Structure 1
């Protein structure tokens, strides 16, 4: 199989991020002023590379982050619903601090390998990985280029990258992410990391 350079970036900041509110698949919040600035800086960095495909989730915060790069590269953004963020169920829209105790209890299950345990009213890590991993491989099957940019979400990035790099989903909490941070991977049937959570492009 040919080698694909894969850039996976997290979306820019939203008001939910700024206020510490949980924001999953069911919250379709736009970028805030800081988020739009981060999107421009992300585009400036990624414009230095060839881009044969530009993908986002179906949620507004990802395709708004991809928009400056779309304009720079004069290409379409393909929005893929199966690349949406994890559904955090009854916790969505709540302050993280209010839900932290319950989330910590759920994450104890995940850290010991019980990855089919869902968030109440939401998804499990295994469900999220299965849908997003299938979407990625469907994209690759149809993809004729060698460089692919995907603008995604924090928890989703943790889930995909931890499993793709052989760490296992139970170690997804070890994958760091920041708004508009970039992970560069190489895919040729298996995944190798070039760098993870690069953020120096955001210093302007």
Structure 2
């Protein structure tokens, strides 16, 4: 099976560094353009299905792909970004000022610590992994699927797929609409990381 892991297109909010998590916003004009270029590129892979987070920035990206290719779209809450609870919408500096002790613990151990009202990285990975297992069980061997999710969730999934220490997930760069390809037979193999050629060629 081939998995095309895609970080969603930019949402229509200011693109400043903040913990967005489960906050929701549709794609902006730039995001729609990027999603259409992504759909054109993914069409070359002839995927059998598209799976996506049910948050608008991911589902909107996935719908552009699904509609262009005429393949089924499956929305799954398990593919959402990590839930940041009371830290939703805040910047690094703001969280550090409001909740310094817990924030420092979370930065050191995001798997054993969760934001107040949010979830740990371990919980995020567990629910997202269930969706990958569903894809493996529901599609026949030799199939391919597009998986549109979020930066943090996809980095965690990649670490597990490749047998990497999950604490290293921040060392993986995944840009908006970047395509990461994993060929999953007996063992997952990384065939491409953060491909943005479809966006650069259109500039």
Give the TM-score, by structure 1 length: 0.89
Q: Which runs of 4+ in 1 moved over 3 A?
A: 100-105
Quote the residue 2:107 is aligned against.
Answer: 107
Corresponding residue number in structure 1 for 2:167: 170
Give the CA RMSD over aligned residues. 1.7
Structure 1 gaps of 5+ residues are none
Q: 1:17 to 1:184 in 2, by over 3 A?
A: farther
* Residues 10 and 151 in structure 1, CA contact (< 8 A), matched pair in contact too: yes
Identify the match of residue 187 of structure 1 among 167, 178, 184.
184
Measure the CA separation in 1 of the matches of 2:187 and 2:26: 34
Provide the residue aligned with 1:20 in structure 2. Answer: 17
2:188 aligned with 1:202: no
Displacement of 1:100 in angstroms is: 5.7
Aligned length: 196
Corresponding position: 1:64 with 2:60:
yes
Alpha-carbon displacement from aligned partner over 1:18-62 (angstroms, at most 9, x marks no partner): 13332102x111111111111011111111111111110111111
Equivalent positions of 1:77-96 (< 5 A) are 77-96=73-92
- Aligned equivalents of 2:75, 2:7: Cα separation in 1: 15
* 2:45 corresponding residue in structure 1: 49
Give the gaps of 5 or more residues in structure 2. none
